[in-house]
Amino acid sequence: DIYTQPNSNITIIEGIFENLSRSYSSIAEFTRNNLNTFTNSFEAFDKNLQFISKVSYYFNEYKKLLRLAEGEKPVYAIFAKLTNGLNTQEKCKKDKGILFITNFDLSFVHEYGVVKKKKELIFKAPVQDLTRIKEKGKVFKKLYIEFTYGKYEFTLPPKAISRVIEYILLARSFDETTIYDEKTAKKLQEIDLDLNELINFIEESINSFFSIKCQYNKSFENIYSHNKDLPPPFGMFPNQMPN
């Protein structure tokens, strides 16, 4: 029983309480800061994973036409309109579709039909063959891409042109060192939960220690009020010095 311990042991326990009191704030602050950093990183990771899943879905839907080569990786896919190309006579017939970007190629698949959708690969060209890429126009802006053997113009959703240009440039210097997958995301989520549990454990432990201290002090106050000759525990009264 803590209340029947010799006074020397009580002094040791009091010292533990004092150390816990001094270190609690720094421990809690350190844990919360690291948890906030991790949470922000996990949210960014999760957004990237959702983005990759969406892009992968479109590549999977059109894989028979795209026929990705070994080592070819999806980078981006976006709905677009081909407004000008090699065959300008058919630009109105083959304008709507999806622009696909990989670390190897740029491809445009035309999709048409009302009841039963049909797909047609309009062009597929290596990203390394690009000689020019820019945003064209002042009012009605378009994506302009040029190869040595031809040029194309695309109408894209608002504010998407600069983003597509960034992805095309990324495709030319593709980096496979950063890997995102669902297993890694699950592990990160488990770590996130563990850190939350750690904070709760630290707070509960500190509260338990201080609860014991309060109970001990209250009990000793009752004993001390009936026996004035009994020395109070160290730390119970202010300005008390150890013997």
User: What angle, 0 to 180 degrees and rounded to 10, lies between the N-to-C axes of helices 7-61 and 182-226?
Assistant: 160
- H, E, C per residue of 164-199: HHHHHHHHHCCCCCCCCCHHHHHHHHHHHHHHHHHH
Report which secondary-structure segment, H or E, holds 202: helix 182-226
Give the domain ranges of the chain.
1-69+179-243, 74-175
> 238: exposed, middle or buried (C-beta count within 10 Å: 0-12, 13-18, 19+)?
exposed
Query: For 117, which DSSP code?
Result: -
Cα–Cα distance for residue pair 66/77, rounded to 1 Å: 12
pTM above 0.85, yes or no: no
Topology, domain 74-175 = PH-domain like (2.30.29)
Residue indicated by tokens 């950093």? 37
Kindly give the confidence (pLDDT) of every residue in the chain, 243 residues in length, as a single tens digit, with 9 standing for 90 and above. 444 544 555 555 666 666 666 666 666 676 677 767 666 666 766 676 676 788 888 888 888 899 999 988 888 999 999 987 655 455 445 588 999 999 999 999 998 877 778 888 988 999 999 999 999 888 888 999 999 888 899 999 878 999 999 888 888 876 554 444 455 555 555 555 555 666 666 666 666 666 666 666 666 566 556 555 555 554 444 444 444
Instruction: For the chain, give the longest Cα–Cα distance.
Output: 109
